[in-house]
Structure 1
Amino acid sequence: MHLPIGRIVFLHKIKLAGFKSFVDPTTIVLPGNLVGVVGPNGCGKSNVADAVRWVMGETSAKHLRGDSMADVVFNGSTARKPVGRASVEILINNIEENSSDKRIGGQYAAYDEISIKRKVSRDGQSVYSLNGRRCRRRDVTDVFLGTGLGPRSYAIIEQGMVSRLVEAKPDELREFLEEAAGVSKYKERRRETENRMEHTQENLNRLQDLRDELERHLKHLDRQASMAEKYTVLKQEERLRRVQLSGLHWRAFSNDLSERENKITTQEAAMTERLAEQRRLESSLDAQRAKHGTAMNEFNDIYREVLDAGAEIARGEETLRNLRERATRTQKALAKEQDALQEAQDHLAAEQENIQVLEKALADKEPALSGLEREVTEAAEEHARAEASMQEWSLVWEAIGLRVAEAMRGVQAQEGRIEHLKERLANASERYIRLQKEQDKLDPRGLQQKIAELAEQLREQDAIRVRAESEHAGHQANLQDIRQRIRGISGTINTARERFQEARGKLSSLQALQQEALGKGEGAVTDWLRKNDLTERPRLAEKLEVASGWERAVENVLGAALRAVCVDELAAPSSTLADLREGAVTLFQANADTESAAISPHPAGSEAARLVEKISAPWPVDTLFAGIRAATDLKQALALRATLGWGESLVTPSGEWLGPDWLRVHRGADSTAGVLPREREIKRLSGIIDTLRAEIDREETAMETAHGAREAAEKSQSVSQSRIAEARRIHATLESRLGEQQMRFDEATRRSQTIAHELAELREQRLQARSSLEEMQAGLDEQKADRDRLIGERDTEAAKRKEYQTHLTDSRARWQDARDKSHRLAVEVASVRARYDSLILSGSRNRDQVARLEIRYQELQQTLREMDQPLQKQETDLAEHRAQRKELETILQEARDQVEELDLAIRESDQKRHAISEKIESDRATLEQMRIGRQEVHVRREAIEEQVTASGHVVAEVLEHLPPDANEADWTTRIDTLEKKISRLGTVNLAAVEERARQAERKDYLDTQHQDLVDALETLQEAMGDIDKETRNRFADTYEKVNLKLGELFPRLFGGGHAHLELTGTDPLDAGVTVMARPPGKRNSTIALLSGGEKALTAVALVFALFELNPAPFCLLDEVDAPLDDANVYRFRDLVKDMSDRVQFIVITHNKNTMEIANQLIGVTMSEPGVSRLVSVDVEDAVAMAGA
């Protein structure tokens, strides 16, 4: 079985452990786009489908064939104990075939492979993970958004889904379409909208109570004066606690920083040990390879000698074998000739006697043969007549049988249609009664009178409200402008602060790396620089400006000189060099008066520019790059090498440095690698930080000005707002009541019209159904009478069968007997005649043969006597050669054992060297990440320290006054408690006038909320209308698409015919759906009237039509082909095979015809009771397993 070449499947692995019957860790590899899962009943095949559904987020145990989520954990068997946890993991290829795009984008576009895993314990708690990181269920479902996959999607089609479609009523079938169209979520949104409207009304009532309470509260402000002192005390305590919490954060970061330092030290030590181990392994490997070469040469020499000896033996054996065979052939030929001679003489005498006997036999048998041939001809004619009679009866019998079967099928179909029509008639009558009762309860006229009364009251109140609001509009517009300006300034400040913190964090990390690279860490050199007041002097790398692209060249040339300390003159520090006991230091005299070496810009014969021309610095640096030229690439450098003068060299942008007779390349990541680009980035970030700091100061000044303007505007607004509060409240109440009554009236009117229309339709349907029922019953009676008549004719013809069969059997026996007798006698006559002729001819030949055999016998006796001596000599030589080869083979085996031992040792050493090299690279990357993490913690600790200092405290003093058992959690709880206490106090008036203004502002806020809630009610009512409209549109669109696809798929599965969907009502919001199908050669009918196989095939067509709405990357079919016969299975499998060009299929099946199209078969067996395992199978094994 061959897999498609080059296809990249979506789902390529499923890993199960402890899930249902897969108790042992099991990996299912899915390399192709069409994979079959086969096995006997009850072996756990469907658990594969359950596993995929479960790992994608299924939360209903019912859909996993269980009572609770803990049922997916292996529950034990007769030989095994239950396990405590189940896990399933699927691995998804995220590479789009023939493209560099990813199948799943967004945050997952960076991954070529996505791992989704779910674990559950016996307590039913699930844990999800994405690519090894723990996540939420929602994160897992987000991965499949837009792909058509999910725990309830049509990508997983089990046999139960087909059964539900077959047995579904119109309302239930509608639910399938709604699920495919996504309408169910709109229904849920409609219910949520109704709940929100109810809650909004409740909130309005509560808000009104709160506003009334606030009115009373404004009259008693003096009672709240005593609360101001308590508020101040709590606020001061809160600020202190926050400073202390920052101190605790600072201490936690300090501890974290110490731990990171220790880890970095441990990591560096481990890396040093691995480097030493790598060097030891390389030395050992070189020695082993040398020994292996020597042993291999010795083995080859001995092997050649063995081959030479073997060739000599083969030649000797071939010669000896030829001699022996020749002698044997001669002896056999001699004996054979002797026997042949005697036999020929005896045979010649016997032939004369046989000729006389055969002449007499021919005279007796030839007349009897003519009589038997006449009897055979007569019997054959009689048998032909009997066989023709039997054939005529068979045609009559078959025609009557077909007519009887057709009549019985017609009766069954008519009975089914009558039952369905009776059921429809009963349903229509029941619905007619329900609709009449509902219509009686509606009262549109009473609702219309209430609406008129409320509308009049609202018009009167509206005039009052408009006058009050016109006065307030000016103040509100001004305040809105000011608030909008404050929000804009605040957003600008926050953005600038975020950019400032980000730039400062990057700058700190880069500065830390740069300090370490330039040797500014602690050590003997740093102590010496500190004693000579050179610590703050710049390093050479900090002052160089290198042209873009030439950084690596300059770093390679200068090397450690990049760390050089720039001094004004060398004399003073040179006098204290004796104090430097260890380490290395470079000093560079950097001042504008330094005389540069006289270097010719273009020496004779050189076409390359000087490297120093790519560099700019505050002072001359020609001496550092004397004689060094710049080549654009290695090819040009090699070409210009011949033009170099004494002491000159060339360097390329990628770092290759070469002279007339030498070349140096350094690719390792040493401590000075990347120093110059990093210094350029540090300078760039410093400029950005200065710009952002100025921008923040400017915006904060603007913010203070805006806050002052807002306070003035709010005071003006509070005065005008109190005048419109009462008018708004009354207006809102009347408007809400009017809207409610209008909505009830509209709903009652629409529902009354709908009911009247449906009642008329139901009356018409009932009349049509009764008429059709009478016609069908009459037709049924006629069909039954026709059926009974045909059954009688069939019984009459059945009685004639024995008579025809007996006549045919007798005539066949007579014909066969005569033919056998004639044949036997003819054979005897022919045999006698042939023997007679043969004896006459062979007598002459035998006399000639006797003479030849006598001559040949004498020649063979002479040849045998001449062959004895060469045979003995060849046997002696061959024995000597065999003894020599045996000794050489012993030596060869010893050499081979030695070579194999050395091969094994070399492979083991090479594997160890490769493994430790990978560990070293991993350690180096880990160490770099640890250093960056350490710097990030350091920066965050400094930021906290700055915050504490800005609040007027010192971190050390704050920590000293904290109790020993203080921790962040307790302090956070205390701050939350203080905030709650302050919140319970509400708005505290520190002065009567200010408090009154604040309370007025609060009342304004509540009035605004009240209006917002009223507006929200209107919005929710509009939303309900939009939801109904969207539901109709989505359902209609999906209905048309599924109908179109069903019309395409049904003929493919049936080999013809037609199928479509029909609505059972006029309103798309609640009309049921039925499937009308017309298989080839039959009338159009509902799915309930079809045969079992036709029902299943129609349901499969509908399921695939639903699936085609949003095709997923893979589809899992669980025994969907179970109820289909062979002909339908062939069409079903052809459809699946065609779709597999664009969709990956995993097919769980028992059918051997479906197995034949699979690119790979995965067998599931349960050789151990209760435990499923995978086995490799071919199609024949799969058929046997499925039939077990």
Structure 2
Amino acid sequence: MKLKSIHISGFKSFADRVNIQYHNGITGVIGPNGSGKSNIIDAVRWVMGEQTAKSLRADDPTDIIFSGSQNRKPLSLAEVTLVFSNDGLHCPAEYMHLPEISIGRRINRGAEREYFMNREPCRLKDIVDFLLSIGLGSKSYAIIQQDKRDRIIQASPDDLREILEETAGITVFKVRRKEAEKRLNSTAERMKNLAEIEIELARQKESLGEQVEKASQKLAFSQELKEKEILLIKNHVGFYRSIANKIKKEVNLSSSQIEKSSLEASEWESEANDLKSTHLELTQQIKSTENQLDDQKIALTKYQERSENYKRRHEERILQKERLTKELIEERHNLEREEERQKNLVVEVENADKVLQKIDQEQENFQERLDEIDESLQVQRMRGDEYRSEMRAIESSRSSLRARNESLLDTISRYNIQIQKVTENYLSQLEARSQIAIDRKEITNNLSKVSAGLDEVVSNRNIIESDLEKLKQQCLFAEQERDSAKQEHLELASYVTSLQKLIDSNSGLSDGTLSLKEKFSQQISGFLFDVVSLHRDDEAILESSMPQLFQAAILDNFDNFVDMIDKIEELSLSKVSLFVKDMLNSLSQSESEIKSDILKINGIRCVGDRLENCSIPAAKCIFERIFICKDEWLLIKAKKLCNDIQNFIFVTERGTVCQTSNEMNFGAPSDGISHGILQRKREYSEALLKKEILQDKLANSEGSLYTLIDKKKKLEFKVSELASVLEKEKVESVKLSSQLENFDLQLRHIDENLARIDDEKKRFHVEISEAKESFAKNQSENDKLENEYNTLSLNLEEFESEYSNKKEIRDEILLQFQNKKSERAVILERQANNRKNYEEMTFQLRRMQQKLDTSIAQAEDLKTQINNAENDFIHLNNEIGVLHKQVKVFEDKLEYLVQEENETEEKLRIVESKLKSQKDSAASKQKFINEKQLELARYDTIIETALKDAFDKYQLSAHELPESADNDAAYRLSLEQRIKEIQQAIIDLGAVNERALEEFKDVSERLHFLVTQKEDIERSMQELYISIQEIEENTKVRFKDIFEKVNFEFQKIFPVLFPGGHGELHMLNEDLLNTGVEILVRLPGKKMQNMSLFSGGEKALTAISLIFSLLKTTPAPFCFLDEVDAPLDEANVGRFNDVLEALSEEFQFVVITHNRRTMEVLDTIYGISMFEPGVSKLVSVDLTDVPPHLRKKQKAAIRSGASATV
């Protein structure tokens, strides 16, 4: 199976569809950093099933879709397809008929993924399974990037062991072992918990027995408590309802008195409102008058302030006028002085202009001389540059020739070493070939033996699997039978529980019988329903026709009977039947004779003759006098035989009863005969018996099911054992087949190597001859260039001497020119300052004149303002006098209004006093009403609470409770005392579990189930121990095998990369499950030591040796190498190339590199560039210009057929 081509579209930087064809040998991918070389490897990893975005150097799965560039829009999907050519090796059977097999993957912007095999949709699992079958698993070394190399360099002994385990596929066994140990620990913890639960359940079962008895006592107390509390609630509600009605009458009387007081208060309130309105109007007039008075006072104050301000400003203007007069005189003197300074500055500027004209003339003369000298120097400088250029060209040619000669010498030396190595390799290959032939014959014999054992194991497994299938059907049937019995047992247990509750609750007994049982159980020997057990048919007929008979109490003697009659009358009990043992006599002689005659009638039977059980013998006498007839005609016939005997009772099967007289009560048995007391007890006994039978049946079902499951587990264990043996045999068979195939490949490889070594020796001799000829030719040309270089050196020295003299003359003239230039600059700067000063003086004079004119205008303005201010001051004094008069008028009006307001306030005070007395009277009555209403509300709350309690506890509605009751405190006290006693009795019982019986049954079942579960868990723990042991054995075998294989390959490859060196893998201890692995290396001239002590390049080359060893141990259809040669120097790259070229016959290599030496061994070269920003393109590479000593054989390059389409 070989990789034929890759088709990439829209993946990362590949915007256009790219088809890359691969051929046998080594394919190279080159290009600058960032051009998209590694995107090809990302595409291969992605189509092989990589799911993690970060592993593909992306943040999100959709980031791998081309995201656009400055000239292109983003694409909507990305697609990659790998095409494999089928050569018949390592191909799965289902694809063996196809010449090509393709796998593809597609993703769109919505993150929807599609997978294809041979252009048909498929699952990711199908692709992964196919890749695994051809040796391309997720842990394989088909793609080797720098991180895998660095992982080996930095690996600890445990990490190296993990690498070997990944290669051998042992990781899955370690995961299974950890899971098994985890399950074992959790199972042990569960066993511990189950033991604790078992102890707790046993303790609960013991305590529940005591709780059943307490529950029955609490039920009796609760019934009495209910009766007493109902009586107390009725008394409370009636008493408080009487009080509430009395309070309502008092409240109605007070409400009528409040209405009368309210009418009188409203009249006084109306008069008070009129006075308040008058008072409010007066208050508003007073406020208005006060506001007007305040306004006049404020206006008067303002006029007085204005008068003071006018007076102060008038005095300030007079002072300002005098100050301006003095400033005008001073400004005129300053203006005259500035005009004189301006005239002197004009004279100084004119003299400086004349000096500048003279300096400009001298500068022109110096400039002309400098231009002449510069022109001459420029000509000579160009001539010197020509000399130097020619010398540099000659020196460059000499350096190039020296480098070429050194390269040729190095090539000749390297080829001589290669010839020596090839000769040594030829001899070692011959020796290895003979050893491999011997090993191959031995492997063939072993493979035949393993195949025979494999057929036997398969036959045994098929027989056991057939038995296991039958056993599974039996288990399924047994489980169904067990479940059916369990369901029937649960239903019957529920029925028994309900019957037990009915019996315990004394359901069906009359009130009189219940009272006798509760209060006089010590004086009574028992009840008839407890001491007898009738025949089933008789029991049903008598309980339906004579139900009160079986509720009769049995007393020991007549004295007890008399006492009991008194107590029954005292308690007013009804429906009570009593029997006295002393008065229950056996049949007399005559009664026995009549009984015999009656029983001779066909269809009549005596109940006493069919009793099943009777614990009190005297009770049997009752039923010896009771006969059951088939119909009423037989009853009449039997009655005639009785003569005067009145003690016999006749009952027909349909319920007609004839007792002491000739009267007959006709009736029919009711449909609910199962509700009779004896019938219910019989059903309970039968249900208990049936329950015990079902429990035995359920236990037998559980035992049968357990036996079947045990047999099933044993067979499954045997199947798993055979599967394990089969797996081991298959692994051994595959291992031997792989070894056999490996030996065949090695033999072919050795034969090809021998032929290739002869060709290489010839090619090396030809290359050495060509290199020697090139070296002699380069040496001759180098001597000629050296003579030319010496001549040019002498000419350059003469020219530089002449050039130096002319340059000194130019520097002297330039110095004089610079001096004149500096002098002129000083004068110009002085002139500029003078002109600037002149302009400033002119501006200053203008400002001084303007300021003078402004001061004169201000003086005239002040004079006018002084005259106007005197007139305004006179007018303001007149206004102040008018305002004084208006203030006096408003003060008189305000005094009159205040007096009117005081009189109104006195009238209002008298009216409000009368109104307050009326309101106080009404408020006192209202307070009395409120107090009564509060009291009424309190009683209503008490009544509502009592009504709520009555309904919540006993479902008593309001109309069922009395409207009134006597205030009988002694009666209430006796009820409350009895309630407290009952409550205390219930409290003394403590916490009572009313579900004790159900819980007791539930605990028993749980305890039984727990014991069974513990046994199952113990068996599962034993199975886990066996599984862990098997996993450990498989791990040891596989690890030992992969260690020996990788170590063997490593020892063969390492000396190629390190000539004269030796490397091997070493286990730290003998424990194959946990031992670490280290790499021990001995370089030429050094002792054996750990790889971690070497330099970076040596570590990298050692890691590459191990990677190639792992690759040979677990072959893959292709191998991508992503810049793994980056840290190697030139010599090590050469050895790396030797190994790469040697393995290229077995593997299809794709190498991404920047190293020129690595490119020497490439059969096909692809270049990747970004002519368009952000878009990767494939370009063809022309190999014809490569020098002969750097090129592989031309025919090999032609054979490779390098091609790429975009």
- TM-score, normalised by the number of residues in structure 1: 0.32
Greater gyration radius: 2
